[in-house]
């Protein structure tokens, strides 16, 4: 075998190693390698992390795992394993006997049917999970906790998150009537090093211990935000930066009067004409608070709109919002929706290009019967989004088409039930500039819980979505809202072309 042939084989092998499953275009097909487009293919591995659910003695947690049908091929596996306590002396080193006794949580055997697991333990650990093969595309896990009494009572829900290195949490708090913890979970075999930065109304809060937080391998570390600074602030934005490694991050907020919920990370700070979309404000919201930050070096000016069922309107007295660089701004929008479900749209004012991170704190009920939830700015649905945990009653799906004049048709599918039932699909038309809030379809003969998948038809504008789950709880329905970005079922793989220069000696 001559050197030219060896070089060619080596080049192709190196290319395959880099791209994983990239397609190599044959010479003579008329394609310009520089103009080749990426191909979307099903992912072959997914990772998710669920934070420790609650320390309450009166809390019950349900985990619901689900992979949609249609994208993966072949067999696969998907399950969650307990993480170590990152604050313990032996963090990252599980006792061999204990590890052998631990069983995977909510393991899936096939796509299309959700699997559930429950715990009422006050020391239930964080979970680290992985899915591969045919169960990896779109694998989603919902963690839902019902706390019947005490600070942070109510329904706490979160979608278990993929690992990353950068998170923003507008809407956190260090005030005396809140106990907010950020949970940092490391899925990898090497330690992660994390910095936590808080921003208040006057800029960064002086932090005594927010840098160089060690998160050992395969472990989780909770950090009480009020211990990071002597400043007590009702509205802050938290920035989580992993300087080494990667983590999953989520903020658990517990209020003495308004209950508790998980604050998910907001979409990456964004600028540009598309702006930010915060979907799924309930029709009966009694209070809505916007918390926003321009984290860059420039101030930001935003146009504020509410996408209602009949179109977009400008809230009275809030045509524009000015955000000073590095300072957290909070605006009480009160009963913004006036009895109609809606979504908040934030778009840059003319000439404003600064990125913005934003979230809403939404309250239902009054007095002793208040409950709160959070709605961060989210990414569009993309190809498909998934909400894993839905019950026979209490689910509301909000679909938002923010661009006026660009109606979108959306297919919504209810999966088989976890204990029985057959899938049902329904297609909705969302008018451009509006929010459509519906009770989603339920499986025929439903037993147990079920999952929802949301798939916009091609050719329309972008669609954003959120799912509200409400359950009876004393004098008010406890509720939680989860945004539904793309479920990461596919990934772009570049199409490679021939480069004949590799044939040269």
CATH number (domain holding residue 360): 2.60.290.11
**Would you state the pLDDT for residue 475?**
66
For residue 440, the SS3 value is: coil
Whether 164 and 54 map to the same domain: the answer is: yes
Residue 384 lies in a domain: yes
Residue 4: the pLDDT is: 38
Residue 145, in any domain of the structure: yes
Given 201, 233, 263, the domain boundary residue is: 263
- What pLDDT score does 72 carry? 66
Answer yes or no: are the C-beta atoms of 285 and 364 closer than 8 Å: yes
DSSP 176-205: TTEEEEEEEEE-SSS-EEEEEEEEETTEEP
What is the domain extent for residue 398? 276-488
Cα end-to-end distance, the chain, whole Å: 15
Is there a single domain that holds both residue 16 and residue 142?
Answer: no
User: What is residue 436's predicted lDDT score, i.e. its pLDDT?
Assistant: 98
Looking at residue 21, what is its pLDDT? 37
Residues 257 and 283 in one domain: no
Contact yes or no for 482/264 (Cβ under 8 A): yes
Q: Looking at the domain assignment, is residue 269 inside a domain?
A: no
Residue 21 belongs to some domain of the structure: yes
List the chain residues with pLDDT less than 70.
1-37, 72-73, 89-101, 208, 271-273, 474-475, 496-505
Pairing of strands 127-133, 115-119: unpaired
- In terms of domains, do 222 and 300 share one? no
* Judgement on whether residues 282 and 346 belong to the same structural domain of the protein: yes
Q: Are residues 361 and 402 in the same domain?
A: yes
Q: Is residue 271 part of a domain?
A: no
Contact 123, 59 (CB under 8 A): no
Task: Quote the number of domains for the chain.
Answer: 3
8, 56: one domain: no
Same domain assignment for residues 401 and 334: yes
User: Do 348 and 255 belong to one domain?
Assistant: no
Do 36 and 54 fall within a single domain?
no
**What is the structure's pLDDT at 355?**
94
The structure's pTM equals 0.89
**% residues pLDDT > 90 (the chain):** 75
Same-domain pairing of 363 and 453: yes
Same domain, 105 and 245: yes
> Residue 368: its pLDDT value, please?
82
- Phi-psi label, residue 317: left if phi above 0, alpha if psi -120 to 50, beta otherwise: left
229 belongs to a structural domain: yes
Within a domain: 191: yes
Residue 270 lies in a domain: no
Which of helix, strand or coil describes residue 9? Answer: helix
């Amino acid at each position: 075998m001559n050197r030219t042939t060896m070089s060619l084989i080596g080049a192709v092998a190196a290319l395959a190693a880099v791209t994983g499953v990239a397609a190599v275009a044959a010479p003579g097909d008329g394609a310009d390698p520089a103009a080749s487009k990426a191909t979307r293919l099903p992912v072959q591995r997914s990772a998710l992390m669920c934070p420790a659910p609650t320390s309450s003695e009166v809390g019950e947690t349900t985990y619901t795992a689900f992979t949609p049908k249609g994208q993966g091929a072949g067999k696969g596996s998907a399950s969650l394993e307990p993480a170590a306590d990152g604050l313990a002396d032996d963090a990252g080193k599980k006792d061999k006997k204990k590890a052998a006794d631990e069983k995977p949580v909510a393991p899936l055997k096939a796509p299309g049917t959700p699997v559930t697991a429950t715990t009422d333990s006050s020391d239930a650990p964080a979970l680290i999970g992985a899915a591969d093969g045919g169960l990896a595309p779109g694998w989603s896990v919902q963690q839902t906790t019902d706390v019947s009494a005490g600070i942070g009572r109510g329904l706490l829900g979160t979608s278990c998150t993929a690992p990353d290195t950068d998170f923003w949490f507008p809407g956190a708090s260090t005030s005396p009537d809140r106990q907010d913890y950020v949970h940092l979970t490391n899925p990898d075999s090497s330690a992660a090093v994390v910095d936590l930065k808080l921003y208040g109304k006057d800029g960064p809060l002086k932090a005594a211990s927010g840098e160089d937080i060690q998160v050992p391998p395969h472990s989780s570390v909770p950090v009480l935000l009020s211990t990071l600074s002597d400043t007590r602030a009702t509205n802050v934005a938290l920035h989580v930066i992993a300087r080494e490694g990667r983590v999953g991050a989520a903020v658990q907020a517990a209020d003495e009067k308004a209950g508790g919920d998980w604050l998910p990370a907001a979409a990456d700070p964004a600028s540009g004409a598309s702006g930010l979309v915060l979907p799924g404000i309930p029709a009966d919201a009694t209070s809505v608070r916007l918390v926003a930050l321009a984290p860059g070096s420039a101030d930001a000016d935003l146009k504020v709109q509410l996408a209602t069922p009949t179109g977009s309107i400008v809230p009275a007295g809030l045509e524009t919002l000015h955000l000073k660089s590095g300072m957290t701004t909070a605006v009480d929008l009160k009963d913004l929706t006036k009895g109609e479900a809606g979504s908040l749209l934030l778009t840059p004012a003319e000439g404003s290009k600064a990125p913005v991170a934003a979230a809403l704190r939404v309250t239902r009920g009054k007095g002793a019967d208040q409950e709160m939830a959070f709605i961060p700015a989210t990414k569009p649905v993309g190809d498909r989004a998934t909400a894993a945990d839905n019950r026979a009653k209490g689910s509301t799906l909000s679909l938002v088409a923010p661009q006026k004049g660009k109606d979108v048709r959306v297919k919504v599918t209810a999966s088989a039930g976890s204990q029985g039932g057959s899938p049902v699909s329904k297609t909705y038309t969302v008018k451009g500039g509006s929010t459509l809030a519906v009770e989603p379809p339920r499986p025929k003969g439903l037993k147990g819980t079920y999952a929802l998948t949301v798939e916009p038809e091609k050719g329309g504008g972008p669609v954003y979505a959120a799912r509200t789950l409400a359950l009876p709880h004393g004098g008010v329905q406890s509720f939680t809202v989860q945004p539904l970005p793309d479920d990461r079922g596919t990934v772009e793989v570049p199409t490679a072309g021939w480069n004949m220069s590799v044939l040269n000696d």
